Amino acid sequence: MSKNFYLGIDWGGSKIALALTDGSNAILWRTGGESGRVADYKDALKRLNNLIERGADCASENGGEIAAIGCAVAAQIRADDGYILGAPNLGLTDVPLADDLSRITGISTIIENDVNAAAFGEYGAAPDDGDPFLAVFVGTGVGGGLVINGELYRGAGGSAGEIGHIPVQPLGAVCGCGARGCVEAYAGGAAVGKRAKAALDFGRAEKLRETGYDEHLPNLSEIAKAAEAGDPDCTLILEEAEYALAAGLATAVNLLNPATVVLGGGVIEGYPAFADAVWRRAGAMMLPSAAMDMTMRKSVLWSDAAPIGAARLARRAL
């Protein structure tokens, strides 16, 4: 009897990553690395189909076939039909991605927002995970996903979980969303890097310059090393990032009273001590009753969270 496998796709602006799973956390095959930015939609579909065919070959070699595809996309989507409303980092607007991939591959395909897919991937990845479940991912920006009663909670308009846009500094720094003082404007990887580069450009952050600065956008780990060396500018940037994310987390915990909170994303993976500092700060802001029995942990899937979550969602949709 043929085995059923499930293909998860993580389509972001910097990369396209695919993972073939048996519906669990185990990955039989993976590939990825090329840019996900789209110049021509038809060409992008062709590239995706070529990668999917490689996954199908692996499934066949393992005595089975791809039963369903889940595609996690950095985009605003209509959850009911997988229609991409907008994906500025990919160059996509108003395209029926789920229908097009299903038609081209002949395989049932679902589309999900990448952060939601990653949250669902993390959900249940550790044996002590409880529900309600909140996953927060700190990368270029800050995003979150909610699982309630075993299902993704998207909200009335599909934008639930936007923890990065909780305002924590009235009249603070301008966020990419246009508002001021958002968590993301202080704790997102891009915002942190831009603040450090601005300090360098003004002849400040000397300890950061001594680490070998070469015009790149500094990351949080580099900023933290300079702060540890006594750089006041980097110390302020790091402390404000910790405070902003802690305040956002405390707000979410006090509102939702989740059983589990997970911190993941590239910034946390690159500098795990950031998560520990944020937990300490957030704990002082949370209602004791809201945090009493809550489990807090770092990601266990890291960059595999989105493709694994997308594959799981595809399996459930059959």
CA distances from 25 to 29, 121, 175, 305, 313 (A): 12, 8, 35, 9, 13
| CA end-to-end span of the chain | 18
> Number of structural domains, the chain?
2
Residue 110 sits in the same domain as residue 185: no
Residue 280 sits in the same domain as residue 172: yes
Residue 224 sits in the same domain as residue 313: no
- CATH at 60: 3.30.420.40
Q: Report, as an integer, the average pLDDT of 146-166.
A: 94
Which residues constitute the domain of residue 157? 126-299
pLDDT at residue 1, as a whole number: 64
Question: Alpha helices of the chain — where are they, by DSSP H?
Answer: 41-61, 97-105, 114-122, 184-187, 189-201, 206-210, 220-228, 232-256, 266-270, 273-283, 288-291, 305-317
Residue 245 sits in the same domain as residue 146: yes
Check whether 9 has a pLDDT greater than 80: yes
Give the single-character DSSP code of 187.
H
Q: Report, as an integer, the average pLDDT of 276-287.
A: 97
Residue 110 sits in the same domain as residue 37: yes
Assess whether the previous peptide bond of 218 is cis (omega < 30° from 0): no
pLDDT at residue 13, as a whole number: 82
Residue 36 sits in the same domain as residue 114: yes
Structure tokens at 10: 């993580």
Q: What is the pTM of this model?
A: 0.95
Q: Report, as an integer, the average pLDDT of 7-17.
A: 92
